Amino acid sequence: MNILLLGYGKMGQLIGEIAESRGHNLAGKINIDNREDLDQLNSSNVDVAIEFSQPEAAVENIKWCLEKGIPIVSGTTGWLSQKPDIEAMTKEKNGTFFYASNFSIGVNVFFKVNEFLAKLMNETSGYKASIEEIHHTAKKDAPSGTAITLAEGILNNNSSLKDWYLLEGNGEKENELPIVSKRIDPAPGTHIIRYQSEIDDIEISHTAHSRQGFALGAILVAEWIKDKKGVLSMNDFLSF
């Protein structure tokens, strides 16, 4: 399979290494320094694109792929206010767009555990929910896309919470879910869900030991998505 890499930072490089180790070819490696190379790229030689760039570049990268009829797998976070437009364009072009805030199989199992726990806690009074996420200092967006997905999983299953917010300082909000974001090197990613009460605390967490799981997951999705159409997610891939 010929794979176009859109974004060639640490994640893009690792994805490229794993792709080649699995017998795939790299049709191109595009980053901020050679973005103009897309104009010379023969899109007919690309089977699928994997997009791990920056929030300010993601939307244009995705649109370029949809215009060219290239299935695209995106893991860039921090641009999701424009995701409805991308989904509409995917349907209009009869294209293929796959987005996940996290491609790790373990994290996606964690998402489901989080939703199940949220349902249980919705029937239990006296507990205050919160999220804490820890990433390396090079990560620009806060909270992380994974933390937002976890927050959505809680909000969809908790009738008392209206929204999530980034907790900065001591300004807690009533009936909203706080997310604490920390940037500490070399942490690749830790996410902690807490339910605290005067009597006890309940906590679940996921800690990534490296980027390997994220990169491999993106490749597995790219292999799976090649002949599919529509707006797709990890739920489709994993059949949860």
Residue 50 CB neighbour total at 10 angstroms: 28
Per-residue pLDDT, 203: 98
Percent of the chain with pLDDT over 70: 99
55 compared with 72, residue with greater pLDDT? 72
Per-residue pLDDT for 127 more than 70?
A: yes
Which residue in the list 139, 173, 182, 229 is annotated as catalytic?
139
pLDDT tens digits, one per residue of 152-198: 999 999 999 999 999 987 678 999 999 999 999 988 899 999 999 99
pLDDT tens digits, one per residue of 195-224: 999 999 999 999 999 889 999 999 999 999
pLDDT tens digits, one per residue of 108-121: 999 999 999 999 99
SS (H, E, C) the chain: CEEEEECCCHHHHHHHHHHHHCCCEEEEEECCCCHHHHHHCCHHHCCEEEECCCHHHHHHHHHHHHHHCCCEEECCCCCHHHHHHHHHHHHHCCCEEEECCCCCHHHHHHHHHHHHHHHHHHCCCCCEEEEEEEECCCCCCCCCHHHHHHHHHHHCCCCCCCEEEECCCCCCCCCEEEEEEEECCCCCCEEEEEEECCCCEEEEEEECCCCHHHHHHHHHHHHHHCCCCEEECHHHHHCC
Q: Mean pLDDT, the chain, as a whole number?
A: 94
Structure pTM? 0.82
Split at pLDDT 50, 70, 90, the class of 240 is low
Q: How many CA atoms lie within 13 A of 25 on its CB side?
A: 6
**Is 135 a catalytic site residue?**
yes
Which residue in the list 135, 182, 226, 228 is annotated as catalytic?
135
Percent of the chain with pLDDT over 90: 81
Query: Could you tell me which residues come within 8 angstroms of residue 61 by beta carbon, excluding any fewer than 6 positions away?
Result: 6, 7, 30, 49, 51, 53, 72, 74
Q: How many CA atoms lie within 13 A of 163 on its CB side?
A: 5
Domains of the chain, start order: 2-103+212-238 (3.40.50.720), 105-207 (3.30.360.10)
